[in-house]
Structure 1
Amino acid sequence: MENTVNEGKNIAIITHLTIIGTIIAAVLNGDKKNAFAGFYIRQTLGIFLLFFALGYPVGLFDDWMISSALYVFIFILWAYSFVSALQGQMNKIPLLGGFFQKAFKNLT
């Protein structure tokens, strides 16, 4: 397991950079299929898609407090995932991590 974590750690970090980083990480992980990297690709893809899905409806409120709450919520999820990847642990994000793993299980 530790060998899998060490091999996939760089890809897991790349996937947290932006949605582009997630796509690049998915391509990099396509050949070897590292389980650790795949876990974080699915998780960060879910975080970024959640941000895009909630961003438009929240933007319709035209209120900085509601928009700020969305940004803080997404940042906390992203930071939790990023720190877990740096530590080499496969921690699912609270509330939605299990859903993201199931929804994108065929991705990597």
Structure 2
Amino acid sequence: MPKFALVYQYDPAATGPAAGEVPDWFAYDKEVREAGVLAYEAGFHEASSGRTVSVRDGAAVVDDGVAPTSGAVVAGLYVVDVQDINAATSWAEKIPTARYGSVDVRPVVE
């Protein structure tokens, strides 16, 4: 079966996780594991704790913090091993961040 990355993000300047969201994450994590479709999952620490690396004219430029794109920050990802993109989309709809942010469904190159 193909694998799909469910990459969840939100704009912390506009909204963010709800105080009572943790049980929703535990329930989602349990459901995806029990369904046998979980290949991998990880949440990320705040963007300020990372680095952005780019190479220009052969020289590396390293900046503390992750470069913002459109204001949204990637908060984490799940990789699911499911039948097709429609099944992956169904799992993406259940990710708590989808209620205030968004979830990209991306086929994984293997």
Q: TM-score, normalised by structure 2?
A: 0.27
Rg larger for: 2
Q: Greater strand percent: which structure?
A: 2
Q: Which has the higher contact order (CA 8 A, sep 6+)?
A: 2
Of Structure 1 and Structure 2, which has the larger fraction of its residues in helix? Answer: 1
